[in-house]
Amino acid sequence: MSSVARVREAFARIADVDRPEIWISLHPEEHVLAEAARVDARVTDGELLPLAGLVAAVKDNIDVAGLPTTAGAASYIRHPDADATAVARLRAAGAVVLGKTNLDQFATGLVGTRSPYGAVRNAWDPTRISGGSSSGSAVAVALGLVDVALGTDTAGSGRVPAALNAIVGVKPTKGLVPTTGVVPACRTLDCVTVFARDLGLARRTVELLSGPDGLDPLTRDDRPRPAATTTLPIAVPTAEHLTGLADGWAAAFDAVVERLRADGVVVLEVDIEPLLEAATLLYGGAFVAERTAAVGDHIAAHPDLVGSDLDPSVVQIVLGGAESKAADYFRDRERLDHLGMLARTALTGTAALLTPTTTWHPTLAEVAADPIGANSRMGRFTNFANLLDMSSLAVPAGTVDGLPFGVMLTGAAFDDRLLAQLAEQVMAPSVELLVVGAHLAGQPLNHQLVAAGGSLVRAVRTASTYRLYALDTVPAKPGLARVAEAGACVEGEIWRLPATGFARFVAALPAPMAIGQVRLEDGGTVTGFVCEPVALVGARDITAYGGWRAYRASMADSAS
């Protein structure tokens, strides 16, 4: 798909889903189309742009030239003249940036509700949290508004929202991606992260963003070690450290572990108490003073804005660090060094640590009732990674009671490529499904796909051997039929669903709809909606419209 076509599709999708809380600012569509046209021209001229044809979103604590940076607080607004290094590299690879996404203010939180721009609702269940702090970026990807999005991760902000929205979240080793142009949360711990629906795209994007820029003094010149087939065991926590998970989550995690064992992977239980104790130091020790150093002066200068522009929970956390003394920091640093040594000893001889990404998926109301306590439960398995200089990534691993369940692989610094290789074995199987009617993005039944964990992959057309008919159903829907002659291409979309979600979706499919194999214009085949022949008798042939959306638009025009 051309960049121009993808941009038009993205803006139509943004209008269809009507989730304004995802965005803090958007480029005008005309501006983005002009940039997309330039990308298409470069591709036509033979330039190799690995992300051409893709659209992106950027968390609003990362600079994008031409858009304000707020970090989730209008009072903190700045107007950058240049892109952050990560954004500049993203655009240089051909991705087109649509806008800036909502976040837990000053990247302080794992819930996605700490923003004066509104709580970002979960992509699957709008009564539940999206996870934070990179909430808008994760939900924009999960709902198919963008293909890839940038976030940041200090305590788990690039992994928790991935898990709660059934997408991939990659937190590279500290320093691999420069943080030039990023509003700091904890400057020495912050990482720029990548969200995508596809692991390969997420990892490819991280590779494109990596490398020193000569501006960020914390950027590291080391490159990730090449992935190599390993027979080392995967470590998992002992049972005592998996207590307190949401109902059904322990069983879901056990199912992932058993699937690995069935595939011949050796799984080794490890005491991760040193890691969990290290995690408590991020907010419960002197390290929080680095947040005070980053934005504490701004918060202290605006006490009148607390409760309006400045989130009370964020204010409490950030200003709390002012109580720490230098001696407290060095005591905590010594304690962390000791815990790191114990953790490395415990994990010696294993390839990586596999855990649930987080511990539960609260509702918006549950977080509102206990904003600090609810948030603190989210980071049990994520908070230690950056403190101990570890690489990590989160991937979907199925559903529990109709909501996403995700797991996380955490390894040594610069083991990023190894983690991606291991994640391929861990991820729950998925199914790609072609839809051509009422389940298309923006159509009345699309919510069923989203509820089943579906994410939009791309727009496609069938081979020229099909005809489309308008069925007499409520809500209105079409029937697709393969014909021996006089066929035509029909527009549709491919959605990816976790296998469990697909099974649930198909089980509820009403007659006369059925699932079969559909050939595409590019010669491939995909599982898709077809129709029982008996339902086509007397149905109106609408093939000439090219697709369901065009037919419905013509009907709306006729009615008006």
287: domain CATH number is 3.90.1300.10
The residues that bridge with 216 in the sheet, in sequence order, are: none
CB atoms within 10 A of CB 330: 11
Q: Are residues 415 and 439 in the same domain?
A: no
What is the C-alpha to C-alpha distance for residues 49 and 47, in angstroms, rounded to an integer?
Answer: 6
Given a contact cutoff of 8 angstroms between Cβ atoms, the answer to whether 24 and 58 are in contact is no
227: pLDDT strictly greater than 70: no
Task: Judge whether 324 counts as a catalytic residue.
Answer: no
What is the C-alpha to C-alpha distance for residues 234 and 245, in angstroms, rounded to an integer?
Answer: 21
Q: Are residues 379 and 481 in the same domain?
A: no
Terminal-residue alpha carbon distance, the chain = 33
Look up residue 204 and give its amino acid: R
Position 414 confidence tier, pLDDT thresholds 50, 70, 90: very high
229: pLDDT strictly greater than 60: no
Of the listed 115, 157, 430, 455, which one is catalytic?
157
* Structure token digits, residue 152: 């940041």
What is the C-alpha to C-alpha distance for residues 38 and 96, in angstroms, rounded to an integer?
Answer: 10
Higher pLDDT, 30 or 226: 30
CB atoms within 10 A of CB 527: 17
Q: Are residues 414 and 485 in the same domain?
A: no
| CATH for 504 | 3.10.490.10
Given a contact cutoff of 8 angstroms between Cβ atoms, the answer to whether 132 and 160 are in contact is yes
What is the C-alpha to C-alpha distance for residues 412 and 53, in angstroms, rounded to an integer?
Answer: 34
Task: Judge whether 376 counts as a catalytic residue.
Answer: no
Domain boundary among 428, 444, 478: 428
Residues 6+ apart with CB under 8 A from 502: 430, 431, 433, 452
Domain boundary among 407, 428, 449: 428
* Structure token digits, residue 438: 């009422």
- Hey, is 337 helix, strand or coil? helix
Mean pLDDT of the chain: 94
Domain boundary among 428, 444, 477: 428
Of the listed 3, 115, 130, 133, which one is catalytic?
133
Q: What is the pLDDT of residues 494-511, one digit of tens each?
A: 998 878 788 888 888 888
Position 429 confidence tier, pLDDT thresholds 50, 70, 90: confident
* Structure token digits, residue 449: 């796909």
What is the C-alpha to C-alpha distance for residues 52 and 48, in angstroms, rounded to an integer?
Answer: 9
Higher pLDDT, 556 or 49: 49
Q: Are residues 362 and 487 in the same domain?
A: no
Q: Are residues 85 and 138 in the same domain?
A: yes
What is the C-alpha to C-alpha distance for residues 70 and 115, in angstroms, rounded to an integer?
Answer: 11
Dihedral sign computed on CA atoms, order 65, 137, 18, 312 = negative
Full-model pTM: 0.86
CA angle 54, 59, 65 (to 5 degrees): 75
* Structure token digits, residue 168: 């991939």
Given a contact cutoff of 8 angstroms between Cβ atoms, the answer to whether 298 and 71 are in contact is no
- Hey, is 471 helix, strand or coil? coil
What is the C-alpha to C-alpha distance for residues 418 and 410, in angstroms, rounded to an integer?
Answer: 10
Q: List the domain range (segments joined by +) for residue 139.
A: 3-428
- Tally of domains within the chain: 2
Q: What is the pLDDT of residues 24-68, one digit of tens each?
A: 999 999 999 999 999 999 999 999 999 999 999 999 999 999 999
Mean pLDDT, range 83-88, rounded to an integer:
98
Report the pLDDT value the prediction gives residue 503, as an integer from 0 to 100: 86
Beta strand spans in 286-443 (E)? 352-356, 390-400, 403-412, 430-435
What is the C-alpha to C-alpha distance for residues 33 and 39, in angstroms, rounded to an integer?
Answer: 10
* Structure token digits, residue 102: 């909502």
Q: Are residues 336 and 470 in the same domain?
A: no
CB atoms within 10 A of CB 513: 21
Position 192 confidence tier, pLDDT thresholds 50, 70, 90: very high
What is the C-alpha to C-alpha distance for residues 179 and 84, in angstroms, rounded to an integer?
Answer: 8
Q: What is the pLDDT of residues 243-252, one digit of tens each?
A: 999 999 999 9
Given a contact cutoff of 8 angstroms between Cβ atoms, the answer to whether 239 and 257 are in contact is no
Lowest-confidence range among 79-93, 218-232, 459-473? 218-232
Q: Are residues 401 and 439 in the same domain?
A: no
Mean pLDDT, range 296-305, rounded to an integer:
98
Given a contact cutoff of 8 angstroms between Cβ atoms, the answer to whether 36 and 136 are in contact is no
Q: What is the pLDDT of residues 266-286, one digit of tens each?
A: 999 999 999 999 999 999 999
Q: Are residues 417 and 489 in the same domain?
A: no
Q: Are residues 121 and 78 in the same domain?
A: yes
Report the pLDDT value the prediction gives residue 441, as an integer from 0 to 100: 84
Q: Are residues 207 and 265 in the same domain?
A: yes
Q: What is the pLDDT of residues 388-400, one digit of tens each?
A: 999 999 999 988 9
What is the C-alpha to C-alpha distance for residues 353 and 381, in angstroms, rounded to an integer?
Answer: 10
CB atoms within 10 A of CB 213: 16
Residue 244 is given by DSSP the state: T
Nearest to 58 by CA among 10, 106, 100, 20: 100
Task: Judge whether 430 counts as a catalytic residue.
Answer: no
Report the pLDDT value the prediction gives residue 378, as an integer from 0 to 100: 98
Mean pLDDT, range 109-122, rounded to an integer:
98
Of the listed 3, 25, 59, 430, which one is catalytic?
59
